[in-house]
Amino acid sequence: MARGTEDRRVVVGVGVGNVLLCGVLLLVAVGALFVQPTTRAEETDAWQLAGRIYGCWLLGGLVLFPVLRMTRTWAVHLATMIVTPVVMFALVMLSAATR
């Protein structure tokens, strides 16, 4: 297989994986998945947990992909990790505004 074909498969996998991860982290942050906060401190803990996982995943990809010389994968990782949370937040705000 050619190197470009393998890189394309990795790019698609990383993009889909990042979108799914961001969705799960949003659900964790708002308390809809894994943690169901009942106090303000538990809500803060849920947001911090989601933030730590997000930050580690983002930085891990930003370090790993250049080392592996996967430039396209690095660019897709960066783009999906920045754009996906913004889009998801906007969708949540729009759905809340229409109620």
Q: In this predicted model, what pLDDT tens digit does every residue of 27-84 receive, in sequence order?
A: 888 888 877 888 999 889 989 999 999 999 999 999 999 999 899 999 999 999 999 9
2, 65 contact by CB (below 8 A): no
76, 14 contact by CB (below 8 A): yes
d(CA 99, CA 84) in angstroms, rounded, equals 23
Q: Which two tokens stand for residue 37?
A: 């906060």
pTM: 0.84
First-to-last CA distance in the chain?
51
Residues whose CB falls within 8 Å of the CB of residue 35, separated by 6 or more in sequence, listed in order: 28, 42, 45, 46, 49
